[in-house]
Amino acid sequence: QSALTQPASVSGSPGQSITISCTGTSSDVGTYNLVSWYQQHPGKAPKLMIYEVNKRPSGFSNRFSASKSGNRASLTISGLQAEDEADYYCCSYAGNSLWVFGGGTKLTVL
């Protein structure tokens, strides 16, 4: 069970769009539509922002969207705002009652 692969960092200017990738294997991301994404601000607990690949919890901004193709999931943030600067983590169910997280991506809003 290896961690999912995410870029260490991404950046964008206010108003722009960015995409964060999350690459797994046929044993996790590729098999299960149970990919979730979490936003974590410094010193805070992670917060669920996407579940079941592309669903948003009520109250979460529609500037955040996500998708999956094969073994790769993606999170897109449109209309970047300063408050989007945070760490983002993907997570996938990996079968056999196991979960695996990505290594995390630091988003910098320039």
Q: Pattern 70-89, binding to another protein, x per CB under 8 A?
A: -------------------x
CB 62 within 8 A of CB 54: no
The pair of structure tokens assigned to 63 is 């500037």
Only one of the segments 22-30, 49-57, 59-67, 78-86 lies at the binding site for another protein (rule: CB under 8 A); that segment is 49-57
Residue among 23, 25, 30, 93 that touches another protein (CB under 8 A): 93
- Please state, in angstroms and as integers, the Cα–Cα distance from residue 18 to each residue in 47, 97, 110, following that order: 19, 32, 12
Which residues are 93's β-sheet partners? 99
- Catalog residues that contact another protein under the rule CB under 8 A: 1, 3, 32, 34, 36, 38, 45-48, 51-52, 55, 57, 89, 91, 93, 96-104
